[in-house]
Structure 1
């Protein structure tokens, strides 16, 4: 047989195989067009946003379909109540359901592709109930609710709950209503999606308390058993292709999708940028420290991720600012938020606020304090917020340098009249670099800004929202020690300050008196309205005027601003400075009927730590119970 004949035969065989694969691919694409994709509102996995299917699993489904050669229109995905979607997928061939948990009970009911991710089944209760579950057998003491046909029911049965004892509803909204009105004691649901539903329904993250978790389930894509095995296999092979790690070591396509939705995936790959801005970011023996660094590290620990210190990059402000503007997967650890920057980044915060000033030589104060910034020669750093404030104040004769040290040296040599910079970081740099630190003082106040974390603008919005939610937890979660981690971290570096609040003692007393009267008239209804944050218990225009109440055991029974505190006992728990102010208020109310107490606390409408004075008053509710009703005011600068 000639070599020429063998070569022609080989080419023909390859052509036939290639043609056959094309026909199969075309057939598969045609079959894909006839698939019916069904799901439920289960954010962040699958939900409707602005009329369009969105979510982690929607991105996964469309990416798998694309890899298999079919462009799945998002508009073709049908959203139904979970039970309807589940029953449709069970009964109708060609139906694909997601996100669905694969369990032993469901093993033979579907053809499976996955797993994609996993999630926990959590049990939620009203915070006012103060329910605790230490062992699964204690679940039989409570009425538990779950969504019809949801995997949570399987986990409840496995934990010892009788299936017919589970109260079911068509959707999470219904079950949360049951939780509110007392129809059920506990609601079982996937924790990631539950937090989204709770925030959407109540407007507050963490409105309900996680009592315990009863299992972890893998999230899959399920095909009706009557679906062609070729189609399922094509889908499975496409999913496996998405999972492959590129030879260059970059993230797989699956990891990229997960990272765009899950903060624990995304945050560990970010580069965290800063110039060194005491007390927010600085290096101590080569280790990143400071308020915003410590908060970041606490967030990492809550997500159970390890972010090495080499992910923190310190550089000149111009460099790190421009890099965050232009490069994906970057975040500025501290940045003043201003109208000029509003559309340039995605924001999470605020963390603190800081005034920006003009520093001058002490021996020229008399000469310069009567001049406007427009009449002075000022040193500044390009892209710095103090520079923006300086320009807004009329400054035109500006000398730019990249390093604060250079500007401090120029100021000492009288080459410039002043240096524009944030007050606290500026004072620390003066102490570090000035030959005579006491000779340089702030003379002109330019502007005060709130300081935030700033993500590159291309950062996925769900990541920033999840980061903000965790930051809010760090600020508000005080039930373990009585002090939030935010308070602890700030107190390591800064002293409490006076507030800009305008709340008066008369307004505080009026709110306390009204709440006491309302409790006497209808204690259960008043407590429910306080915990919902309804007016007058939380002022809509000035949210730092709010009411809260303890029982005589120092357990928080109602709080109009921070629902996370309700149900926690605060006996022997102090403020960040070590003062057991809650015990003192309850003791004072029981002994004297009413009074005032001072302590250190954070303000819901201002970032930072503040001095607070609270009015407390003993009240007797319509239920015959004694309550200590409280409302406070943050000391303002005029006092």
Structure 2
């Protein structure tokens, strides 16, 4: 009888390794990866973890994830078997302390300064020599990097939270903030602070974010999580969580955005956005439309954006903004041989002045009391000026010269009257993680451009 029982036991399938239900998952406030909104955990790594639960038939959800301050979560993951801490930067110093599942995303820790501070850093030694006060979060990767670099404790100011650190920087209580770039710019937007008021001054760490598991965790569970994550990445789920494919509408407005001979949307602003998208691992479809339609679609249709867009008071609350992308000088033009002299917008009041539908330049001029003759597209104003249907043309200076050269139209600049930044304007439905990652990547791209120059 015992032999038959032994044979039955041998033939039965071996029990599966203990499920992920046996693990304790811990996270912190680190948007857009993990954060709490209306008492519910949200973010890229939270969404991804729930997908991992589903992929591994694990009977857990985001409601089972513990939410701790970073230092407490970090200490717990180090000391208590069966714990998983995320999102955790994987560094050489931490490598043997945990087992790792990931990557989730790339985390770039920067020393962030107020733009008006004029602080310029080439290396961490410059921060030490300058005696700059630096805000950090205890046990955060930024704090650890500064300690490793030998920054004196007298220069390091520990904040109780990332929002507190941001406010310390904003109010001048510190000179720099050592923190993840994506997260910092997310918080600026959430706190209603213009991201353009701040600038990354120096990169002090560039590593990937992972799920960090206690080092004694069963390797089979680690492998199970990693296999599930790899499958999700292959299926494009990670890209979907980051926001999926967003539609970027634009118009024919060289040199910033236009269609080349092969029908591809290109231009200075377009290529800058493409670079930032690639860096942030985000997807967008570029479409060239008449400006009025491009702007209206971004205002009314979910998951749509429009560029290159002037950020006006009237538009401010309609969109979520990413930028600035480029700057544009507004000017008034006439034919080279025209008997017209004007030094200000007041001098245009009695003339026929051309612009196009829903263009910020024309709207601005109209608000100054100058009647505007509106075309459906900017390019039409070249022909209307040549035909004598308008006397003057108000537009972006670089655009005017390029379109005039293309049409072999002798043009004369009368005067300039404004300097503005152009942005990407997105419908509020575009996910916050998409906006935050794109803004941070755009800042990196612009910083690299300035370095090369």
TM-score, normalised on structure 1?
A: 0.46
Asked if the contact 2:71–2:139 (Cα under 8 Å) also holds between the matched residues in 1, the reply is yes
Which residue does the alignment assign to 1:600?
Answer: 418
- Relative distance call for 1:227 and 1:212 in structure 2 (3 A) is same
- Counterpart selection for 2:175 from 185, 191, 198: 185
Provide the secondary structure at the position in 1 that maps to 2:304.
strand
Once the two structures are superposed, the pairs formed by residues 461-610 of structure 1 within 5 Å of their partners are 468-469=321-322, 472-474=323-325, 485-487=326-328, 497=362, 499=364, 599-602=417-420
CA distance in 1, matches of 2:158, 2:97: 22
Residues 1:126 and 2:114 aligned together? yes
Residues 1:257 and 2:257 aligned together? no
- Relative distance call for 1:602 and 1:33 in structure 2 (3 A) is same
- Deviation, 1:602, is 3.3
Residues 1:286 and 2:262 aligned together? yes
Asked if the contact 1:195–1:206 (Cα under 8 Å) also holds between the matched residues in 2, the reply is no
Once the two structures are superposed, the pairs formed by residues 43-192 of structure 1 within 5 Å of their partners are 43-140=31-128, 141-162=131-152, 165-192=155-182
Which residue does the alignment assign to 2:436?
Answer: none
Asked if the contact 2:110–2:202 (Cα under 8 Å) also holds between the matched residues in 1, the reply is yes
Asked if the contact 1:295–1:489 (Cα under 8 Å) also holds between the matched residues in 2, the reply is no
- Deviation, 1:149, is 0.6
CA distance in 2, matches of 1:46, 1:52: 10
- Deviation, 1:198, is 1.6
Asked if the contact 1:44–1:196 (Cα under 8 Å) also holds between the matched residues in 2, the reply is yes
- Counterpart selection for 1:238 from 224, 228, 240: 228
Asked if the contact 2:248–2:304 (Cα under 8 Å) also holds between the matched residues in 1, the reply is no
- Relative distance call for 1:278 and 1:28 in structure 2 (3 A) is same
Once the two structures are superposed, the pairs formed by residues 22-61 of structure 1 within 5 Å of their partners are 23-24=15-16, 28-29=18-19, 32-61=20-49
CA distance in 1, matches of 2:190, 2:280: 30
Residues 1:296 and 2:270 aligned together? yes
Which residue does the alignment assign to 1:207?
Answer: 197
Provide the secondary structure at the position in 2 that maps to 1:499.
helix
- CA-to-partner distance for each residue in 1:68-126, whole Å, 9 max, x for gaps? 22143111122222112212222322221100012222223222222332221111112
- Deviation, 1:202, is 3.5
Which residue does the alignment assign to 2:187?
Answer: 197
- Relative distance call for 1:242 and 1:259 in structure 2 (3 A) is closer
- Relative distance call for 1:340 and 1:295 in structure 2 (3 A) is closer
CA distance in 1, matches of 2:297, 2:105: 40
CA distance in 1, matches of 2:188, 2:308: 25
- Deviation, 1:161, is 1.5
TM-score, normalised on structure 2?
A: 0.62
Higher RCO (C-alpha under 8 Å, 6+ residues apart): 2
Structure 2, unaligned runs of 5 or more: 1-6, 334-353, 356-360, 370-394, 399-414, 426-453
CA distance in 1, matches of 2:196, 2:230: 36
- Counterpart selection for 1:348 from 305, 311, 320: 305
Provide the secondary structure at the position in 2 that maps to 1:206.
helix
- Relative distance call for 1:233 and 1:339 in structure 2 (3 A) is closer
- CA-to-partner distance for each residue in 1:459-502, whole Å, 9 max, x for gaps? xxxxx95xx41xx321xxxxxxxxxx25279999x975462675
How many equivalent residue pairs? 340
Whose radius of gyration is greater, 1 or 2? 1
CA distance in 2, matches of 1:227, 1:158: 28
- Deviation, 1:45, is 1.0
CA distance in 1, matches of 2:257, 2:363: 23
Provide the secondary structure at the position in 1 that maps to 2:18.
helix
CA distance in 1, matches of 2:280, 2:329: 22
Asked if the contact 1:93–1:226 (Cα under 8 Å) also holds between the matched residues in 2, the reply is yes
- Relative distance call for 1:502 and 1:603 in structure 2 (3 A) is farther
